[in-house]
A and B are shown apart, each in its own frame.
Chain A
């Protein structure tokens, strides 16, 4: 049963601390998206990668957020330093390129910054 996995599922941290979220896309999927979901803003696209190369990170605050794909099985989203306004659920999704662009979402990381 192929699925996208994300770790950690929950993270509580204090303002100013570094936060790293990890995503393992479905094996063979070459496109990975990072989204943030809040009650106020809904679902926002932060960045996405194709074949490990960043295609678009215009939705990401550049001064504190960074996203990478060190290899085909791992995508990371880092926040340094974290702020209370970063509290949200962060989702990773992958696409396999087999047609119709269906996105497969992970379960999300719920981040709380105190």
Chain B
């Protein structure tokens, strides 16, 4: 079945450091890929998405590129801020109309001032 594997946390960085959170997936078809973010006390919210191979999703300085050849969708940001401290979830959804989404385990990011 479909699955998502992302790097374990927590990840602790200093402000303005470069961020990478690795994500790889297994899927039978051609899924859409997502990164969701969860701030303390809130539900998950979509950060960015990519719907086909080589697409790059971007939002709020975060980027991720859909790499079919390596089945990866790594999240990157060039300069993190304290306000980026949150839990990040990689996810996939097959484009078969079912809308079911498979989430990774989440990676907690702490950014120190």
Question: Taking beta carbons and an 8 Å cutoff, which residues of A are in contact with B?
Answer: 4, 31, 33, 42-43, 45, 48, 50, 55-56, 91, 93, 95, 97, 100-108
A105-B44 in contact (CB<8A): yes
Please indicate the chain B residues that have their CB under 8 angstroms from the CB of A101 in the complex: 32, 93, 95, 99, 101
Choose one: B43, B98, B106; the contact of A42 (CB below 8 Å). B106
Interface centre among B44, B45, B51, B93 (most CB of A within 10 A): B44
> Which residue of chain B is the closest to A94 with respect to CB atoms?
B99
Question: Taking beta carbons and an 8 Å cutoff, which residues of B are in contact with A?
Answer: 32, 34, 36, 41-46, 49, 51, 89, 93, 95, 98-101, 103, 105-106
A55 to chain B, nearest CB (A): 8
Interface centre among B41, B51, B95, B99 (most CB of A within 10 A): B99
Can you list the 6 inter-chain pairs with the closest CB atoms, starting with the nearest?
A105-B43, A101-B93, A95-B99, A105-B44, A31-B99, A101-B99
- How many A-B Cβ pairs are below 8 Å? 49
> Which residue of chain A is the closest to B92 with respect to CB atoms?
A101
> Which residue of chain B is the closest to A42 with respect to CB atoms?
B105
A53 to chain B, nearest CB (A): 13
30 pairs of residues in contact across A and B, judged by CB atoms under 8 Å:
A33-B101, A42-B103, A43-B103, A48-B100, A50-B99, A55-B98, A56-B100, A91-B44, A93-B43, A93-B44, A95-B99, A97-B99, A100-B32, A100-B51, A101-B32, A101-B93, A101-B95, A101-B99, A102-B49, A103-B36, A103-B44, A103-B99, A103-B101, A104-B46, A105-B43, A106-B43, A107-B41, A107-B42, A108-B42, A108-B43
